[in-house]
């Protein structure tokens, strides 16, 4: 039952990063490349029409995490309290940036909320990448100092950064040079994904330019990918053991590299949907490869005093997981119904659809 709920939650959170990921990426493209008012309006619309439905998946994932793995939920929500509050505020400012920009026809007003939308989207992409970096790097569970736990074994607290700024520190912070690398990969990946979404859903005047941007960003992403794999071996020398022990897990890195290679042909793709599919494969492959490298661990411990958190030592009781299955099925039916209806109503190009007026 633990494996079942682990897979379900992983699927839900991956769907969130694929769907809301293009909203983050749209904000990044909007910030750096949208210069004309018509482009700014239609690009903001391509995110604004979808962001609230996409974030339903985050709410669903959080609820399932609380239900299935309560100890893990309690641990990460206390240990990552400060960055989670920052993420909450960034989500708020991204939303009001989208909702407020068209309320008044004054350029200063629009510029203010355009900046709010773009900067918050950029920082959200960065912080979610940093969060993934913390998960794969591990944390000081129990707050061990001089061989003694300061907290209970499954709790921890991280400052934003440690004075050494190193992932190899015994008391690392949330931000260090390794998690920054993962954060940059997240920013570049979601910028590519957002650009593909804009090309797919709009007739923006910068669409042809964006294909060149995607190609250049994909070169950056490729370099960062191989560099991150190299430094990952320094931070966590046994990080690839799961792939050697269970060769079938190699399918997840293959998904990632399929998307990565496909994006190099972005200028030659005949249909806009193909570019979006390739960037989706990059996100799907990146997240699943990270999870596969850790399984069954979901939060590694960097000390030898307290054991890592796994799907087995953080799961709710068998009875609770079984009862939750019934409500989970009902919830998924409602969730997918909402998703399908919304996507059908907003299929095709959205340039002429009304939003924010």
Quote the CA–CA distance of 183 and 83 in Å, as a whole number.
Answer: 13
Give me the pLDDT at residue 264, please.
94
Quote the CA–CA distance of 355 and 71 in Å, as a whole number.
Answer: 41
Quote the CA–CA distance of 91 and 121 in Å, as a whole number.
Answer: 8
Low-confidence ranges of the chain (pLDDT < 70): 355-357
Taking phi first (over 0 means left), then psi (-120 to 50 degrees means alpha), and beta for anything else, what does residue 317 get? Answer: beta
Backbone angles phi, psi at 160, to 5 degrees: -60, -40
Give me the pLDDT at residue 356, please.
56
Judge whether 349 and 46 are in contact, CB under 8 Å: no
Residues in the chain: 357
Give me the pLDDT at residue 355, please.
67
Give me the pLDDT at residue 118, please.
93
DSSP state of 299: E
Quote the CA–CA distance of 122 and 144 in Å, as a whole number.
Answer: 34
For residue 277 the two structure tokens come to 């599919």
Q: What is the DSSP string of 79-117?
A: HTHHHHHHHHHHHHHHHHHHHHTTTS--HHHHHHHHHHH
The H-assigned helical ranges of the chain are: 2-33, 37-48, 51-54, 56-68, 70-79, 81-100, 107-137, 177-201, 207-235, 241-245, 251-263, 272-294, 318-345
Judge whether 7 and 64 are in contact, CB under 8 Å: no
Q: Which long-range contacts (CB under 8 A, 24 or more apart) does 209-216 make?
A: 209/33, 210/29, 210/33, 211/266, 211/267, 211/275, 212/267, 213/29, 213/33, 214/263, 214/266, 214/275, 215/263, 215/264, 215/266, 215/267
């Amino acid at each position: 039952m633990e494996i079942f709920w682990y897979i379900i939650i992983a699927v839900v959170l991956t769907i969130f990063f694929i769907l809301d990921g293009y909203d983050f990426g749209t904000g990044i493209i909007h910030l750096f490349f949208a210069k004309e008012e018509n482009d700014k309006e239609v690009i903001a619309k391509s995110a604004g029409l979808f962001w609230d439905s996409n974030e339903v998946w985050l709410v669903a994932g959080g609820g399932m995490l609380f239900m299935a793995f309560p100890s893990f939920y309690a641990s990460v929500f206390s240990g990552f309290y400060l960055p989670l509050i920052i993420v909450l505020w960034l989500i708020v400012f991204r939303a009001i940036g989208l909702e407020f920009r068209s309320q008044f026809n004054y350029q200063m007003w629009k510029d203010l909320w355009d900046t709010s939308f773009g900067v918050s989207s950029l920082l959200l992409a960065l912080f979610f990448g940093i969060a993934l970096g913390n998960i794969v790097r591990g944390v000081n569970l129990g707050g061990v100092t001089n061989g003694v736990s300061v907290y209970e074994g499954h709790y921890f607290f991280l400052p934003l950064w440690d004075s050494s700024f190193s992932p190899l520190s015994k008391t690392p912070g949330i931000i260090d040079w390794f998690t920054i690398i993962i954060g940059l990969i997240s920013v570049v990946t979601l910028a590519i994904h957002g650009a593909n979404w804009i090309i797919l859903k709009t007739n923006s005047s910068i669409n042809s330019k964006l294909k060149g941007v995607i190609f250049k960003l994909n070169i950056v992403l490729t370099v960062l990918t191989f560099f991150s794999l190299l430094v990952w071996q320094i931070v966590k020398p046994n990080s690839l053991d799961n792939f050697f022990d269970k060769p079938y897990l190699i399918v997840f890195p293959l998904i990632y590299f399929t998307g990565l290679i496909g994006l190099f042909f972005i200028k030659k793709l005949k249909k806009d949907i193909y570019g979006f599919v390739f960037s989706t494969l990059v996100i799907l492959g990146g997240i699943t490869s990270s999870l596969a490298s850790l399984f069954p661990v979901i939060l590694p411990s960097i000390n030898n005093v307290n054991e890592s958190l796994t799907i087995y030592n953080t799961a709710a009781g068998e009875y609770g997981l079984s009862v939750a299955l019934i409500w989970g099925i009902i919830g998924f039916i409602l969730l997918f119904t909402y998703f399908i209806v919304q996507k059908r109503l907003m299929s095709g190009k959205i340039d002429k659809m009304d939003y924010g007026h």
